[in-house]
Structure 1
């Protein structure tokens, strides 16, 4: 599985690169804090595969990186996509590196 660090994600955001960010946490977690990604909870990821981009990098993130890793594995197995990345450390790593005041469930 391909992974991306929060530093690499921030660089992509700062450079205005074309990618899709998918947050696989539950809606209540997303509402508390998010990185402006599309919220598709892990339980529904295979139901909503039509929302996953095929033509650009897709970065999946969660709280710590475990659920997003599961999402990447499920979607890769189901659809055979090669453009998926897991955000290493999830939003907790983002908080630690860039936004220590961020509230995270």
Structure 2
């Protein structure tokens, strides 16, 4: 019985270590920006919404282009490596995964919107507007 508890504890420690390590590595290439910081820089960068097209059509940040996370592998060539990339999704999860993919492709300046689109209070464009 004791060895089962030791194995369980070891698995938990390994999982926590992996998670912390991943977060620390992510901080070396990805910067999370507040809305104010995001607004200051996104006009001089590639602004990419990684949500699905129906989400994008229902409202997106003015000037953003839609490159859904589900299509990122096929369309990664559409993202320039020599320009900053500002990413956002609904809450920040998909944009963080997209940033990891773009990092592997050679993008160096990667930024994500803290809290994602659901926290955005700036200008929004809809398909009908």
TM-score interval w.r.t. the shorter chain? 0.7 to 0.9
Greater share of helix residues, 1 or 2? Answer: 2
Gaps of at least 5 residues in structure 1 are none
The alignment's TM-score, normalised by the length of structure 1, stands at 0.79
Which is greater in Rg?
A: 2
Spell out structure 1 runs of 4+ moving beyond 6 A: none
CA RMSD across the alignment = 2.2
Aligned residues: 96
Gaps of at least 5 residues in structure 2 are 1-29
Greater RCO, CA 8 A, separation 6+: 1
- 1:26-74 superposed Cα distances (whole Å, 9 cap, x missing partner): 0010000001311011011121111112222111100111110010012
Give the distance between the partners of 2:77 and 2:101, measured in 1 at CA: 14
User: 1:23, 1:62 within 8 Å by CA — same for their partners in 2?
Assistant: yes
The alignment's TM-score, normalised by the length of structure 2, stands at 0.66
